Chains A and B, each alone.
Chain A
């Protein structure tokens, strides 16, 4: 029983990472109704860029690296918007999808070329903190990721529902032409959405690097897949949905691994996705039509 609980809690806490990535996917989809396939790669790219802080300040604390990743993530988000959306005809759903797939591969290969594919040690916060309740343990660094996911959700919801930018964003998401007629600069709002998602992505990338302990280009593909699964299960465009789905996927993943083995684990996660697509296509938190 203890093993079951430990496996479940480990998975749920690790699912906070999927939740952070899922939030970024869902934010862009919520505003532009487009999937940004390069999101996880840009997040990992931002985390790599954060390591430049260590080049500049040798003994920089982890939070400075995280802040560097946060800023770099925002810049990469803007870059992805400019290269993959701004000049691409958005009327064709395939065009931005393919351009972002291209950007995913490009970012991945740039990282590989700059680091020769070598894993990079990543600084962590609270990685030595382990909350112990007898034999049962909780990782401090993953609790931090979980806390940041919840804060990100609250911050984003506040931004969307309590600020002028949020009002403009929601207007663009619902009726872009009407929003433009009301004087809202749609391009600016879209670009800002990417920057905000990118800032969050950079932080997510850094937290992922910290919780894994190392960064590798190997991270981009599984995070992209898990991010998309979380976005669909949570409900496309739903930020709370992304968080709940992230934790759910993380927990199920670990349980499947425990009971069915590592080689069958991902098969069951995909079956879970299919089950949602068939029986609850809108996800856990379906968008109001």
Chain B
């Protein structure tokens, strides 16, 4: 009887302690359905893995000196704008202090549009919810709202550096021909506003470009155009499925440019899974490769949560650590009655950041709430990505 009483007392004490344990909720959202599902799956795994590491170290220090555990709840936006907007409204209705996402730029752009444009603008009834993007990469999106922040690589800087390096390394290479997935926001913007522009800025002659759609399966006409152009570099701004389709058609038609350049997002496992042989030699700038001790550890921990480490998922990992730092420096309460004040503190804390520690090194934060991340160039070799050059 005495033993039972002690057990009940211990259980009650434990229950009480459990009830007192505070949590800080971070809402993740991204594509977990459809063909970009892997992005959402990997981001979710990386966020949960990062939160697990932080929680095992005690959690987040709150304003009153107590500690809170991080709880990550992930929502599937299916990579559609309407679903993304619906989800950010749902997240706003929960006790999440910040949202991390989305995957797709076509979701991020309208979603940032429903956030309050300027902080403290009483005439603007937009959502006052900090959103810290890990994946959606189309250039310049964070300037839409002062509640929007991104930790995505700066493609302009990366491709500028890549074409500069290629020019130095291969001086006989003179011309570039592009291949672009015309109906995908990121691919399109990356070719017309970044790759083409940066190639020309570095003295390359851009001969032209071929276009295809994200659902296309037959690339014979486009590859024939690539063949006729006979450029030294073929730069493909497309996602893995069509990139692989084009590379396979290039092999069939015997198109062998001196150099192949790919889109940042294609420096992933997907490309190697789809066409490792044909992608051999393709050079891509990326903001992540497991080359540092921290990077290797992050990749290993994420793998335990069934996620793959790439430039996108590791940005999600970094975001959780950056948010911990911001929540601690700004002193959030994790009290539900102070939720909006906590959200504002997180926003202000993110806006104050001048630099953050990333897995490849120091990331500089820009005035327009974007990131200037360290990067390196990787190349597909023997079925895996190897670091070709570290320009920093």
Contact = CB atoms under 8 A, between A and B. Distances in A.
Interface in B239-289: 240-241, 244-245, 248-249, 252-253, 269-270, 273-276, 278
A71 B270 CA distance: 27
Contacts of A113: 37
A222 interface: yes
Interface string A177-216: 0000000000000000000000000000000100011101
Given A121-B273, A214-B244, A214-B248, A262 B213 contact: yes
A113 B38 CA distance: 9
Interface residues of B, number: 36
B218 interface: yes
Nearest to A217: B35
B253 A137 contact: yes
Contacts of B217: 14, 17, 208, 212, 219, 222
B183 A117 contact: no
A219 B216 CA distance: 8
Residue from the set A218, A254, A258 with the largest chain B CB neighbour count within 10 Å: A218
Contacts of A57: none
B221 A257 contact: yes
B52 interface: no
A119 B240 CA distance: 7
B211 interface: yes
Contacts of A130: 252
Given A10-B221, A254-B220, A218 B41 contact: no
Given A127-B252, A214-B245, A216-B35, A118 B273 contact: yes
B245 A262 contact: no
Contact of A218 (B215, B220, B222): B215
Contacts of B274: 118-121, 213-214, 216
Interface in A103-148: 109, 112-113, 116-121, 127-128, 130, 137, 139
Contacts of B37: 112-113, 116-117
B209 to A, nearest CB: 11
Contacts of A253: 218
Nearest to B269: A118
Contact of A118 (B33, B218, B270): B270
Contacts of A128: 252
Contacts of A216: 35, 241, 274
Contacts of A121: 244, 273-276
Given A117-B38, A214-B245, A112 B33 contact: yes
Given A213-B245, A214-B241, 13 more contacts: A3-B224, A14-B220, A112-B35, A116-B37, A116-B38, A118-B270, A128-B252, A139-B220, A218-B214, A218-B241, A222-B215, A250-B218, A263-B213
Interface of B: 33-38, 41, 182-183, 211-218, 220-222, 224, 240-241, 244-245, 248-249, 252-253, 269-270, 273-276, 278
30 contacts: A6-B224, A7-B220, A10-B221, A11-B218, A17-B217, A109-B33, A112-B34, A113-B37, A117-B37, A118-B38, A118-B269, A119-B244, A119-B274, A121-B274, A128-B252, A139-B252, A213-B248, A214-B274, A214-B275, A216-B241, A217-B35, A218-B241, A219-B217, A222-B217, A250-B218, A254-B218, A261-B211, A262-B211, A262-B213, A263-B211
